[in-house]
């Protein structure tokens, strides 16, 4: 049987990168999907690809910074598919970059709104839908940056993503007894549009590759199976984790 047969999942940041690869994998594993991102055309193309492969998905374009959007995603899952079992809250941004003393208050606030406050909005509406089913898996995309490693010029990003791990742990203990599991996924370098902002020259890419124990950057398709693990019953005793899928970047010293 498919790992996610009869499951309903929300995936944000689904128009590219890890979210896109995970949506395709979840659909192949039997999940019915609500896919979200800001770019309507890319979402609709994803839905068409999933349908062509025999899957089922609905596109809901919007901005995770808005609370009403979090509510709309859950309402769509319940209305179209009857409930919610899984949420992969993956949308995020590098946000305000540069020396910390030069980061504006507005840039700081927008980064936290996108990466951290959006996660609170997501949980606020996703958790009740999962409690109605006495089970569920919430997954949030964090990062090793600010957790096992620090990088200059990324204070807002690091703070928002590290804060996300704290939120995950609070949610895990608050709702674990009710069957809801909550985990953070911490990828290393991944070949995505966001990743290419950092590794935007051959020299910088080689530098980032060298930071990993595996001496390379992952493809989104290599990260998606780890999301599937956290979403599926294979991880039914896993909650509150900062789940490193980072190619050894957190332990590499060579």
Residues catalogued as catalytic: 157
DSSP, residue by residue, 35-104: EEES-HHHHHHHHHHHHHTT-EEEEEE--TTSHHHHHHHHHHHHHHHSS--EEEE------S-S-GGG--
Helix (H) or strand (E) holding 194: helix 193-198
Of 150, 164, 137, 166, whose CA–CA distance to 26 is shortest? 137
Helix (H) or strand (E) holding 186: strand 180-187
Q: If DSSP codes are grouped into helix, strand and coil, which group holds residue 197?
A: helix
Structure tokens at 88: 């992969």
Tokens 């406050």 correspond to what residue?
117
Q: How many CB atoms lie within 10 A of CB 119?
A: 28
| CA atoms of 249 and 215, how far apart (whole Å) | 9
| CA atoms of 187 and 43, how far apart (whole Å) | 23
Residue 234 dihedral angles phi and psi, to the nearest 5°: -60, -25
């Amino acid at each position: 049987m498919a790992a996610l047969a009869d499951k309903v999942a929300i995936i944000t940041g689904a128009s590219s990168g890890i979210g896109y690869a995970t949506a395709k994998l979840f659909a192949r594993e039997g999940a019915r999907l609500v896919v979200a991102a800001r770019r309507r055309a890319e979402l609709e193309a994803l839905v068409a690809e999933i349908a062509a492969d025999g899957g089922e998905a609905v596109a809901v374009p919007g901005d995770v910074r808005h609370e009403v959007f979090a509510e709309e995603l859950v309402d769509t899952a319940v209305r179209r598919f009857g409930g919610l079992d899984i949420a992969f809250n993956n949308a995020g941004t590098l946000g305000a970059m540069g020396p910390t003393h030069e980061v504006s208050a507005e840039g700081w606030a927008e980064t936290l709104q996108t990466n951290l406050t959006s996660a609170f909005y997501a949980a606020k509406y996703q958790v009740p839908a999962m409690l109605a089913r006495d089970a569920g898996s919430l997954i949030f995309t964090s990062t090793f940056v600010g957790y096992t490693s620090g990088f200059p010029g990324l204070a807002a990003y690091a703070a928002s993503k590290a804060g996300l791990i704290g939120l995950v742990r609070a949610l895990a203990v608050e709702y674990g007894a009710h069957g809801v599991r909550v985990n953070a996924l911490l990828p290393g370098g991944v070949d995505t549009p966001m990743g290419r902002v950092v590794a935007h020259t051959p020299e910088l890419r080689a530098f980032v590759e060298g930071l990993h124990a595996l001496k390379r950057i992952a493809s989104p398709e290599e990260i998606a199976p780890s999301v599937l693990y956290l979403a599926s019953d294979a991880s039914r005793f896993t909650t509150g984790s900062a789940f490193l899928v980072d190619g050894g970047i957190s332990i590499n010293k060579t």
